[in-house]
């Protein structure tokens, strides 16, 4: 059996085994459904309605993720080219990072209402820091000799940025994207908890009021699926884009 | 510590360097006068004066960390000497190529793209895209890696990577090539092979190369390759001695058997001990 098949088959096999044990345990011990619904009970409540809530959360997270990463990268570029701005603004960024998002989320809803925007901003807040820190690090990670090479041949500041700093920073940027891809979903769901009428966070909250545990489970699984989807997409891009670095297959 | 040119006498009294025209009437490529340099409190270079001629292969030899590399960076104008120091070039400023100890290739660029990179830098574009490609291909051919044109650095061995770096330096048709321990990170076999390859390139009429300045810490390498060897003293580095190598050109494999090779190595060893 090839290694590639194994990496797919093994986790798949274990997951199926786990689900079977779960199903059997629920039926054998007659666990009440409000405590732990069987996998089949969860599957039976998955419908188009859940799909539309999932799309809402995914879009909020995705928009927040994209905006935060664009803004974070631009901020990093400014930091790298201006020491005073870096020194002045970095502590503020750290302060923002250390403020729990859960504490900020109600404020966002007060400011922006219960629509999309408060979730997008919550998502942005949580994604902003990883990209900022990693981009600053990556943009500064150029080899000194490479800088000398560019200087020897009279490379302009723009060329040093475009042809040296930017490609050097890519591995750092991509690992920040991987980190924040799952955080983005967290941000959107926290936003939905505080005030929303759609999205997976809203479904989780409402179903908890009704003790509708199967629906709750379906929403939790859907949110995990959103995170995985984002993470895998980024990993795929990373492999294509940073072909010169061997990605550890551990 | 003042710089001085030391005339070397062989044991038999025979004058060394006899097969070269006397330096006095040769054309200067780069000239350093009274160059000193400090990094903060640490003085790196102390009053270095050195004339480097056209059509010359010069090695700079000295203990590690003595400021040999700093000397190259002065010639590249990446650093400026402190007041009183002066660096001048032959009337028309020669184009200068640089090879570092590490290949310093961009891992996201293929071999040919790496060689093209410096050709496309700077505000005034000297070459069109087509010209740059042709020059890069020519340089790749010079180092014998035309079959690896589209390979990426991580697909090439250390020796091949350094040859790409040499091709990159040659592509812009430099008159002066500065090399900072170019083969220091390579194994002995590759190193010897590239030593002679570099000499062939320097002698070849296909390259515009006239002067090579190579920093090295290998006595043998400096003797087999150079016309003159500049011995540096420990930090703050000054020119300890300039020693001509009386081996005939072209240099061949096996010249290590030559008595002149042996004597020059012995002389250099003796001086190293005195440092």
Q: Do A156 and B100 touch (CB under 8 A)?
A: no
Percent share of chain B, pLDDT over 90: 42
Q: Is A173 touching B (CB cutoff 8 A)? A: no
Q: What is the pLDDT of residue A249?
A: 44
Q: What is the pLDDT of residues B198-218, one digit of tens each?
A: 999 899 888 888 999 999 989
Strand partners, B176: B96, B211
Among A143, A146, A149, the residue to mutate for chain B (most B Cβ within 10 A): A149
Q: Do B154 and A244 touch (CB under 8 A)?
A: yes
| Chain centroid, CA B208 distance in Å | 15
Nearest residue, CB atoms, B78 vs list A146, A148, A159: A148
Q: What is the pLDDT of residues A4-49, one digit of tens each?
A: 888 889 999 999 999 999 999 999 999 999 999 999 999 999 999 9
ipTM for the predicted complex: 0.83
With a cut of 70, say whether residue B5 has pLDDT above it. Answer: no
Q: Do A149 and B172 touch (CB under 8 A)?
A: no
Q: Do B106 and A243 touch (CB under 8 A)?
A: no
Q: Is B87 touching A (CB cutoff 8 A)? A: no
Q: Is B92 touching A (CB cutoff 8 A)? A: no
Q: Do A153 and B100 touch (CB under 8 A)?
A: no
All structural domains of chain B, each given as residue ranges with its CATH number in brackets, are 1-8+26-94+210-275 (3.40.50.300)
Q: Classify strands B228-232 and B56-61 as parallel, antiparallel or unpaired.
A: parallel
Distance CA A170, CA B140 (A): 28
Tokens representing B49 are 């004066």
Q: What is the pLDDT of residue B271?
A: 85
Mean pLDDT of B164-184: 92
Distance CA A28, CA B249 (A): 93
Q: For A44-241, which CATH superfamily applies? A: MetI-like (1.10.3720.10)
Q: What is the pLDDT of residues B81-115, one digit of tens each?
A: 888 888 888 867 778 899 998 999 999 999 999 99
Main-chain phi, psi angles of B93, to 5 degrees: -60, 120
Render each residue's pLDDT in chain A as its tens digit; 250 residues. Answer: 678 888 889 999 999 999 999 999 999 999 999 999 999 999 999 999 999 999 999 999 999 999 999 999 999 999 999 999 999 999 998 998 899 999 999 999 999 998 899 999 999 999 999 999 999 999 999 999 999 999 988 899 999 999 999 999 999 999 999 999 999 999 999 999 998 899 999 999 999 999 999 999 999 999 999 999 999 999 999 999 998 886 544 3
Q: Do B118 and A148 touch (CB under 8 A)?
A: no
Kindly write down the DSSP assignment for every residue of B62-78, as one continuous string.
Answer: --TTSSHHHHHHHHTTS
Query: A86 in helix, strand or coil?
Result: helix
Q: Do A145 and B118 touch (CB under 8 A)?
A: no
- Give the list of residues 6+ apart from residue A234 with CB closer than 8 angstroms, or none: A174, A177, A178, A181
Q: What is the pLDDT of residue A5?
A: 86
Q: Do A167 and B153 touch (CB under 8 A)?
A: no
pLDDT band at B193 (very low <50, low <70, confident <90, very high): confident
Q: Do B108 and A167 touch (CB under 8 A)?
A: yes
Distance CA B140, CA B147 (A): 9
Among B79, B108, B109, the residue to mutate for chain A (most A Cβ within 10 A): B108
Distance CA A249, CA B235 (A): 47
Q: Is A82 touching B (CB cutoff 8 A)? A: no
Q: Is B189 touching A (CB cutoff 8 A)? A: no
For residues B156 and A246, the answer to whether their CB atoms sit within 8 Å is: no
Distance CA A28, CA B172 (A): 79
Mean pLDDT of B150-168: 93
User: Searching chain B, which residue's CA lies closest to the CA of residue A147?
Assistant: B104
- Burial annotation A62-75 (CB, 10 A radius, 16+ → b, else e): bbbbebbbeebbeb
Looking at beta carbons, which residues of chain A come within 8 Å of B78?
A: 148, 151-152
Q: Do B117 and A148 touch (CB under 8 A)?
A: no
Q: What is the pLDDT of residue A120?
A: 96
Q: What is the pLDDT of residues B40-62, one digit of tens each?
A: 888 888 889 999 999 999 999 98
B residues 122..181 contacting A (CB < 8 A): 122-123, 152-154, 172
With a cut of 70, say whether residue B120 has pLDDT above it. Answer: yes
Tokens representing A125 are 């807040």
């Amino acid at each position: 059996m090839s290694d590639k098949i194994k990496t797919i088959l093994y986790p798949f096999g274990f997951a199926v085994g786990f689900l079977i044990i779960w199903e059997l345990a629920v039926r054998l011990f007659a666990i009440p459904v409000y405590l732990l619904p069987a996998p089949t009970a969860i599957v039976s409540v998955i419908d188009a309605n859940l799909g539309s809530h999932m799309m809402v959360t995914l879009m909020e997270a995705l928009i927040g993720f994209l905006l935060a990463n664009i803004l974070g990268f631009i901020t990093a570029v400014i930091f790298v080219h201006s020491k005073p701005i870096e020194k002045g603004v970095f502590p503020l960024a750290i302060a923002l990072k250390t403020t729990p998002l859960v504490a900020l989320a109600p404020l966002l809803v007060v400011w922006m209402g219960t629509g999309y925007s408060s979730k997008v901003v919550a998502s942005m807040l949580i994604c902003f820091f990883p990209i900022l820190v990693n981009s600053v690090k990556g943009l500064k990670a150029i080899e000194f000799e490479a800088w000398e090479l560019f200087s020897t041949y009279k490379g302009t500041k723009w060329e040093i940025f475009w042809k040296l700093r930017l490609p050097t920073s890519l591995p750092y940027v991509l690992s920040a994207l991987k980190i924040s891809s799952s955080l983005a979903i967290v941000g959107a769901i926290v936003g939905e908890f505080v005030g929303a009428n759609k999205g997976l966070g809203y479904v989780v909250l409402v179903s908890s009021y009704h003790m509708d545990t199967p629906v709750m489970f379906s929403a939790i699984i859907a949110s995990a699926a959103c995170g995985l989807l984002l993470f895998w997409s980024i990993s795929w891009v990373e492999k294509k884009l940073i072909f010169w670095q061997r990605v550890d297959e551990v | 510590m003042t710089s001085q040119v030391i005339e070397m006498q062989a044991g038999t009294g025979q004058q060394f360097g006899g097969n070269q025209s006397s330096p006095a009437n040769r054309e200067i490529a780069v000239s350093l006068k009274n160059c000193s340099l400090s990094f903060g409190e640490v003085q790196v270079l102390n009053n270095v004066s050195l004339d480097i001629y056209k059509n010359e292969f010069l090695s700079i030899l000295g203990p590690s960390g003595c400021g040999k590399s700093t000397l190259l960076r002065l010639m590249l104008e990446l650093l400026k000497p402190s007041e009183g120091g002066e660096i001048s070039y032959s009337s028309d400023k020669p184009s200068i190529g640089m090879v570092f100890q590490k290949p310093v290739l961009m891992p996201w660029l293929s071999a040919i793209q790496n060689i093209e990179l410096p050709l496309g830098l700077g505000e005034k574009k000297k070459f069109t895209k087509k010209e740059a490609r042709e020059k890069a291909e020519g340089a790749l051919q010079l180092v014998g890696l035309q079959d690896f044109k589209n390979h990426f650095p991580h697909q090439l061995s250390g020796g091949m990577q350094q040859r790409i770096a040499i091709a990159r330096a040659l592509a812009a048709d430099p008159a002066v090539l500065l090399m900072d321990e170019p083969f220091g990170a390579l194994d002995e076999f590759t190193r010897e092979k590239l030593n002679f390859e570099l000499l062939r390139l320097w002698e070849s009429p296909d390259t515009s190369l006239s002067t090579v300045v190579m920093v090295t810490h290998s006595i043998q390498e400096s003797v087999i390759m150079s016309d003159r060897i500049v011995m540096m003293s420990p930090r703050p580095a000054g020119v300890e001695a300039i020693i001509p190598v009386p081996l005939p050109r072209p240099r061949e494999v096996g010249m290590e058997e030559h008595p002149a090779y042996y004597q020059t190595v012995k002389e250099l060893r003796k001086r190293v001990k005195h440092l």
